[in-house]
Amino acid sequence: MSDYRIETKCIQSGWKPSKGEARILPIYQSTTFKYDTSEQMGDLFDLKESGYFYTRLQNPTNDFVAAKICDMEGGAAAMLTSSGQAANFYSVFNLAEAGDHIIISSALYGGTFNLLTTTIAKMGIETTVVDPEISLDDLRKEFKENTKCVLAESISNPSLVVLDFEKFATAAHEAGVPLIVDNTFPTPVNCRPFEYGVDIVTHSTTKYMDGHAVSVGGCIVDSGNFDWTKYPDKFPGLCYPDESYHGTVYTKQFGKAAYIVKATATLMRDLGSIQSPQNAFYVNLGLETLHLRMQRHCENALKVAKWLQNNENVAWVNYPGLEGDPYYERAKKYMPNGTCGVLTFGIKGGREASIKFMDSLKLIAIVTHVADTRSCVLHPASHTHRQMTDEQLLEAGVKPDLIRFSVGIENADDIIADLEQAFSSLK
Ligand SMILES: *Cc1c(COP(=O)(O)O)cnc(C)c1O
């Protein structure tokens, strides 16, 4: 980890060219890499030497971008994945297998909730879903002998719950398991979960990191702080010989990088959710301006939230950066420089008025996306979360009338003018 501040890391971390090399991170558009002897190649397969041989396992472009994100988060090792979904799946499946148990917060992105309740159950992993505001004592009671990890979001999409990091980290560590946090919404520019006891961070790089809505991708970063060797029987995949790699013991051979090396060597090898180097290149371009964009996203979102709060058509507004929001104080503590550009609100007149309002917007588009430069809205109950029952929706903190508004980095007055004309269509 370098000592530079986050703005400098956004630009300078990762690719560091030496004499005569490309100033800008090259796209290694190659499936394979050349060696001179079969012994050299054999050593790579045995994990005796580090090096590239096949892009499904590792690619230099991806690794330089992962190294930048790792540095931004203050981690020890990182890897890119094909999507945020793949990142969250690998982060859990690298620790838990059939017969194991995990604990997740109910305030999660719909795709993650589905993955970690329905799909993972088909692999024989049992999940307990907890309210993120559960008391520490009640949380402690949810752990079992076979619990392998806890997963939550730093700011949940779309319910905008700011996580009580210390409570979740305390309970997880007392039970001898790591806390995994999806840090997609605040990004490491606004929040660095490792500083609050989180062990592993995941990202959908598709969102603010790319920031321009051009490439789907994900990332896993390990802090290197969780000591797997204290619980070898709980984490045999990390602490005991891996027969599929000639008896490699990841914790012994790779130390603080054990978790990421195992995920690369086994999950990426077998499941193959690699990010394309071309997409990693776009993510890297996005990262270079992430600090500037996050600042503007947050400024605009706060202006819009304040304006909505005073609008007669609006029933309620949630934005953790807005004074009076239930998560305002916690956001100030964990993300003092800002939260994210996403806010939610409900319109008086219910579902019908909401749909009419959204259809009347001109600048602000209806799209299944958040966290890019362009302002957009979505109605989760009829779009992203439509696979969930009303009960599950409410459990995930998503009201049926909730409109998710990803505030872009256009001029805030133009955004507000568009809202104003759409509201006037309701009269
Ligand atoms: C979008 C999102 C995901 C899923 O990421 P994809 O890149 O779409 O697979 C996971 N977590 C959060 C918080 C998200 O917003």
Contact 130, 104 (CB under 8 A): yes
The count of residues in the chain is 427
Neighbours of 307 (CB within 10 A): 17
Q: Which atom of ligand 1 is nearest to the CA of 206?
A: 7
Mean pLDDT within 251-278: 97
User: pLDDT tens for residues 1-22?
Assistant: 568 999 999 999 999 999 999 9
Measured in degrees and rounded to the nearest 5, phi and psi for residue 359 equal -70, -20
Give 370 Cα–ligand 1 centroid separation in angstroms: 9
Contact 380, 402 (CB under 8 A): yes
Which SS3 state, helix, strand or coil, does residue 278 take? Answer: helix
Give 277 Cα–ligand 1 centroid separation in angstroms: 19
Residue 256's pLDDT is: 98
Sign of the alpha-carbon torsion through 384, 390, 391, 393: positive
Measured by CA distance, the residue closest to atom 1 of ligand 1 is: 204
Q: Which of 87, 14, 342, 72 is nearest to 188 (CA)?
A: 72
User: pLDDT tens for residues 329-386?
Assistant: 999 999 999 999 999 999 998 778 888 999 999 999 998 889 999 999 998 777 777 7
Mean pLDDT within 173-191: 98
Residue 217's pLDDT is: 98
Measured by CA distance, the residue closest to atom 10 of ligand 1 is: 84
Answer whether residue 398 shows pLDDT above 80: no
Q: What is the pTM of this model?
A: 0.96
Residue 151's pLDDT is: 99
Task: Give the residue extent of every domain in the chain.
Answer: 6-285, 292-424
Task: State what percent of residues in the chain have pLDDT above 70.
Answer: 99
Distance linking the first and last C-alpha atoms of the chain: 56
Residue type present at position 340: C
User: pLDDT tens for residues 58-75?
Assistant: 999 999 999 999 999 999
Mutation pick for ligand 1 pocket among 69, 90, 157 (CB with most ligand atoms within 8 Å): 157
Strands 376-378 and 365-366, sheet pairing: parallel
Residues having CB closer than 6 A to ligand 1 are 83-85, 88, 109, 111-112, 153, 157, 182, 184-185, 204, 206-207, 216, 218
In eight-state DSSP terms, residue 266 is I
Instruction: Look up tokens 């939610």; give the residue.
Output: 344
Report the C-alpha gap between 305 and 168 in whole angstroms: 29
Please give the CATH topology (third level) of the domain spanning 292-424. Answer: Aspartate Aminotransferase, domain 1 (3.90.1150)
Give 63 Cα–ligand 1 centroid separation in angstroms: 20
Contact 303, 419 (CB under 8 A): no
Give 135 Cα–ligand 1 centroid separation in angstroms: 27
Strand ranges in 265-312 using DSSP code E only, listed in sequence order: none
Give 425 Cα–ligand 1 centroid separation in angstroms: 33
Give 116 Cα–ligand 1 centroid separation in angstroms: 13
Give 7 Cα–ligand 1 centroid separation in angstroms: 24
Mutation pick for ligand 1 pocket among 81, 85, 342, 404 (CB with most ligand atoms within 8 Å): 85
Q: For domain 6-285, give its CATH number from 2.60.40.1180, 3.40.50.300, 2.40.30.30, 3.40.640.10.
A: 3.40.640.10
Report the C-alpha gap between 408 and 364 in whole angstroms: 9
